[in-house]
Chain A
């Protein structure tokens, strides 16, 4: 038996999808996951431009931050490379109301905010995304975990008349396993379930 919990599976299909200007990146990923019934998947490729990114990062000072992962925002036009794991939010031992961070002013105001902060669209049986993006604007390069509020940009060309973008994702839909995120007591856990 392997020292590490390991599950064999395969790529069922590959999905190329072009994102639209102004779309929210994370919400688009959830939406695509739902439309394609992705319960385990990998963003294999995601190169494009964003404006106004909102993301989670390790806090600069742990005990000064009300949250275990701080929330940052970066403006301007940014080049990005997004990757991560798509799965499904599953029922855990705890309810969101049991969490010690169920209310953080301006960040977590309601149940939807709570789930979004953890990468889930809206709680149990909704898609979740555990992934990172690296972004670079004219001044800085940073890496973090995508949050709602991050918008697809049509590459800084100014008015683009809602033309299609050049931001396409390549998603590998996996069959044979489910990738689950569960709220157990006071912690989110990842679970990989063989089907």
Chain B
């Protein structure tokens, strides 16, 4: 399969200021929806600290983990540096209900995958077809660990209640790209990307 390549330019740059309690991934999705971003890059995410991280990563034991990528939460605070790609979820031949859980029949996992929206969000989409999609790795660190993973909903900006020396809030810099769209399409086991010229 030949490599897919498309060229484009930056239409505009957005500085997005998040407050304590804001969910970082939801903010990226919401900004993408508000500004109709169908191709974009989170160029930088920096400033303050995060209260916690909810992250997707490879399971310690793929045989016991019910999902191909594990999802877990770690209490912070954490410093974090976020980058990634913004696109849009599009319709494909596969329905979300066909996406299996590994080593298990399709079931609802209490507290993790209870609704169809949860499944979409596990894959990086805000809510399914025609909603924003984000694909990005972020690095995070506290006094004990430095780690990386894929951002998941639930990661929040810290409320530091006047801890001097730690800047309040968190700033994202997002580049909105013109003339192309990044489509996240559902295959049999997860997303793949399609790059297309902007749809009219």
Contacts and interface: CB of A to CB of B under 8 A. Distances in A.
A–B contact at 8 Å CB threshold (below): yes
B142 to A, nearest CB: 4
Interface residues of B, number: 46
A124 interface: no
A28 to B, nearest CB: 18
Interface in B43-90: 43-44, 46-49, 76-81, 83
A68 B164 contact: yes
A172 B43 CA distance: 10
A186 interface: yes
A69 B77 CA distance: 11
B141 A192 contact: no
Given A58-B76, A83-B81, A99-B164, A142 B12 contact: no
Contacts of A59: 143
Contact of B46 (A5, A58, A69, A84): A84
A134 B31 CA distance: 27
A69 B47 CA distance: 13
Contact of A4 (B16, B78, B160, B173): B16
Contacts of A68: 160, 163-166
A190 B171 contact: yes
Nearest to B11: A10
Interface in B140-198: 140-144, 146, 160, 162-169, 171, 173
A100 B76 CA distance: 24
A153 to B, nearest CB: 20
B43 A44 contact: yes
B165 A69 contact: yes
Determine the main DSSP class of A at the interface with B. Answer: strand
Nearest to A3: B30
A193 B61 CA distance: 48
A130 B79 CA distance: 11
B16 A57 contact: no
Given A67-B165, A132-B79, A187-B168, A10 B10 contact: yes
Given A85-B171, A130-B46, A186 B12 contact: no
Contact of A58 (B16, B18, B79): B79
B15 A6 contact: yes
A7 interface: yes
Contact of B79 (A4, A42, A145, A172): A145
Interface of A: 2-11, 40, 42-44, 56-61, 67-70, 83-85, 99-101, 117-119, 130-132, 134, 141-145, 172, 174, 176-177, 179, 181, 185-190, 192
Ranked 6 nearest A-B pairs via Cβ: A60-B143, A143-B141, A58-B142, A68-B165, A5-B17, A68-B163
Given A99-B164, A179-B15, 10 more contacts: A4-B16, A4-B18, A5-B17, A6-B14, A44-B44, A58-B49, A58-B79, A60-B143, A69-B166, A130-B47
16 contacts: A5-B17, A6-B17, A7-B15, A58-B79, A58-B142, A59-B143, A60-B144, A83-B44, A131-B46, A134-B139, A134-B146, A142-B141, A187-B162, A187-B166, A188-B164, A190-B169
